[in-house]
């Protein structure tokens, strides 16, 4: 099952980009044997200033056909890492060709796109910069693969 991060904004070279790349590479190595991956990132940017609605249209085009859509949103459900891993495995086992994670820009996701998602996921009640959310999501994907592979990386 492919994993697609559909995100608003361009991540410039630097520590955040390095971390995302590292965790997604690790995820790909572990996930391949589990039927997960590859993981890729599609960055969209509204250069015309259309706001959240324009960003939503760009993000919608980045979602793979048949994907299970998970929107990262502060109104979403929080999950433990094992629950997150189980959710990924359940989607894989249900025959989904892909899972798409949506990360909005500084103003979040347009309500129409958020309402279209199959699930809303929150990394807690605090507001996180959308560039750091990419890093946190990439790490949780790697952690999920490690949990499903039965490695000691996740020490609960």
Could you give all domains of the chain from N- to C-terminal order, each with its CATH number? 2-149 (3.40.1280.10)
Mean pLDDT of 55-65: 95
End-to-end CA gap in the chain? 26
3-state secondary structure of 135: helix
Pair 74, 108: CB distance under 8 Å: yes
With beta carbons less than 8 A apart as the criterion, state whether 35 and 73 touch: no
Kindly report the pTM of this predicted structure. 0.94
pLDDT in tens, 25-49: 999 999 999 999 999 999 998 777 7
**In whole angstroms, what is the distance from residue 119 CA to residue 75 CA?**
11
């Amino acid at each position: 099952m492919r994993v697609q991060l559909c995100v608003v904004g361009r991540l410039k070279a630097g520590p955040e980009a390095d971390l995302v790349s590292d965790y997604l590479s690790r995820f790909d190595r572990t996930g391949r044997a589990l039927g997960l991956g590859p993981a890729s990132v599609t960055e969209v940017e509204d250069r015309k200033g259309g706001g959240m609605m324009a960003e939503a249209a760009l993000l919608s085009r980045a979602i793979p056909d048949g994907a299970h859509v998970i929107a990262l949103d502060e109104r979403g459900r929080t999950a433990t890492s094992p629950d997150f891993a189980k959710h990924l495995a359940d989607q894989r086992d249900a025959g989904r060709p892909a899972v798409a994670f949506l990360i909005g820009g500084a103003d979040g996701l347009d309500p129409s796109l958020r309402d279209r998602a199959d699930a809303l996921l929150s990394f807690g009640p605090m507001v996180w910069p959308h560039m750091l959310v990419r890093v946190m999501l990439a790490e949780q994907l790697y952690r999920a693969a490690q949990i499903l592979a039965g490695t000691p990386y996740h020490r609960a």
